[in-house]
Amino acid sequence: MSAGSGERIGEDMLCSTVREILAGTEKKYGPEDAIRYKISKNEIESKTYTQLKEDSESFSNVLKDMGEQGSHIAVIGMTSYAWLVTYFGTVNSGSVIVPLDVNLPAEDVCDLIARSDSTVFVYDEVRKDVAAIAKERCPKLKTIISMQQAEHDDHAYSFRKLLEEHRGGFDYDPQPDQLCTIMFTSGTTGKSKGVMLTHRNVAENATCLDMKIPERIVIMTVLPIHHAYCLSMDILKGVSLGAVICINDSLMRVAKNIKLFKPEMILMVPLMIETMAKKLEEASLLPAKIVKNQVFGKQFHTICSGGAYLDPSYIDLFKKYDITIQQGYGMTECAPVISVSQAWNIRKDAVGQLLPNCEAKTVDGELWVKGSSVMQGYYNMPEETAETLEDGWLKTGDLGYVDEDGFVYLTGRKKNLIITKNGENVSPEELENALSTNRLVGEVLVREKGGVIEAEIYPDQDYVKKKRIKDVREKLQEVIDEYNRTAAPQKKIYSLVVRDTEFEKTTTRKIKRF
Amino acid sequence: MFEKLVNIICNYVEVEPENIHPESRFMEDLGFTSFDFMSMLGEIEDEFDVEVEQTEAANIRTVQEAVDYLEKLTAES
Q: Could you write out the DSSP letters of every residue in A199-247?
A: HHHHHHHHHSB---PPTT-EEEE-S-TTSHHIIIIIIIHHHHTT-EEEE
- Which CA distances in Å does A133 have to A107, A117, A127, A149? 9, 16, 11, 17
The closest of A127, A71, A76 to A99, measured between CA atoms, is A76
Position with higher pLDDT, A322 vs B56: A322
Minimal CA separation from A487 to chain B, in Å:
12
CB atoms within 10 A of CB B19: 10
Q: Which of residues 216-275 of A touch B (CB under 8 A)?
A: 250-256, 271-272, 274-275
A271 and B35 in contact by Cβ < 8 A? yes
Cβ-defined contact of B38 to A495 (cutoff 8 Å): no
Beta bridge partners of A370: A359
Residues B30, A201: Cα–Cα separation, whole Å: 43
d(CA A487, CA A468): 29
Measured between alpha carbons, how far is A428 from A455 in angstroms, rounded to an integer? 9
Query: Of A252, A421, A489, which is closest to B52 when you measure between CB atoms?
Result: A252
Q: How far apart are CA A363 and CA A366, in angstroms?
A: 5
Asked, as a colleague might, if the bond just before A382 is cis with ω within 30 of 0, I would say no
- Residues of chain B found within 8 Å of residue A274, distances taken between Cβ atoms: 33, 35
The SS3 of residue A77 is coil
Q: What are the Cα distances from residue A233, in Å, to A22, A106, A222?
A: 14, 28, 12
- Is there a contact between A282 and B28 if contact means CB atoms under 8 Å apart? no
Q: Does A455 touch chain B (CB under 8 A)?
A: no
Q: State whether A254 and B11 contact (CB < 8 Å).
A: no
d(CA B49, CA B43): 10
How far does Cα A178 stand from its chain's mean position? 21
For residues A207 and A241, what is the distance between their CA atoms, to the nearest angstrom?
9
User: Among A332, A302, A78, which Cα is nearest to A205's?
Assistant: A332
Q: Is the ipTM above a cut-off of 0.95?
A: no
| pLDDT at residue B50 tops 50 | yes
Q: Which residues of A touch B56 (CB under 8 A)?
A: none
DSSP reduced 3-state for B29: coil
pLDDT of residue A427: 82
Q: With 0-12 CB in 10 A as exposed, 13-18 as middle and 19+ as buried, what is B49?
A: exposed
Chain A residues with CB under 8 Å of B33 CB are 271, 274-275, 421, 451-452
Tell me the torsion sign for CA atoms A255, A256, A261, A262. Answer: positive
Cα distances (angstroms) measured from residue A94 to each of A67, A119, A200, A262, B7: 13, 15, 13, 35, 54
Best mutation target, B10, B35, B50, B59, to test chain A (most A CBs within 10 A): B35
**Does A282 reach chain B within 8 Å, measured CB to CB?**
yes
Domain ranges of chain B: 2-76
Give CA angle at A162 (A160, A165), nearest 5°: 115
Which domains are seen in chain A, by residue range?
45-174 (3.40.50.980), 218-418 (3.40.50.12780), 427-498 (3.30.300.30)
DSSP A303-332: EEE-SS---THHHHHHHHTT-EEEEEEE-G
> Residues B39, B67: contact at Cβ < 8 Å?
no
Min distance A222 CA to chain B CA atoms (Å): 11
Residue A277, chain B, CB below 8 Å: the answer is: no
Residue among A251, A282, A495 whose CB faces B11 most closely = A282
Residues A329 and A351 sit within 8 Å (Cβ to Cβ): yes
pLDDT given at position B70: 92
* Chain B residue numbers touching A252 (CB-CB < 8 A): 38-39, 41-42, 45, 52, 54, 57
pLDDT at A151: 97
**Interface A:B, Cβ pairs < 8 A:** 55
Contact state of B38 with A250 under an 8 Å Cβ cutoff: yes
Phi-psi sector, A349: left (phi>0), alpha (psi -120 to 50), beta: left
B39 and A CB contact within 8 Å: yes
Query: Please, what's the b/e burial string for A425-460 (b: 16 or more CB within 10 A of its CB; e: otherwise)?
Result: bbbbbbbbebbeebebbbbbbbbbeebbbbbbbbbb
Cα–Cα distance measured from residue B66 to residue B59, given in angstroms and rounded to the nearest whole number: 9
> Which residues of chain A, if any, have pLDDT below 70?
1-12, 187-190, 506-510, 514
Q: What is the pLDDT of residue A5?
A: 46
Q: Is the dihedral of CA A173, A179, A182, A186 positive or negative?
A: positive
Residue A281: per-residue pLDDT: 84
Instruction: Measure the CA–CA gap between A373 and A369, rounded to whole angstroms.
Output: 10
Q: Cβ A495–B28 below 8 Å, yes or no?
A: yes
CB-nearest partner of A251 from B27, B31, B35 = B35
Architecture of the domain made up of B2-76: Orthogonal Bundle (1.10)
Alpha-carbon separation of residue A113 from A85, A209, A211, A225 (angstroms): 20, 33, 36, 17
pLDDT of residue A190: 63
pLDDT attached to residue A66: 98
d(CA B34, CA B17): 20
B41 touches chain A (CB under 8 A): yes
DSSP string, A278-305: HHHHHTTTS-HHHHHHHHT-TT--EEEE
CB contact under 8 A, A250 and B54: yes
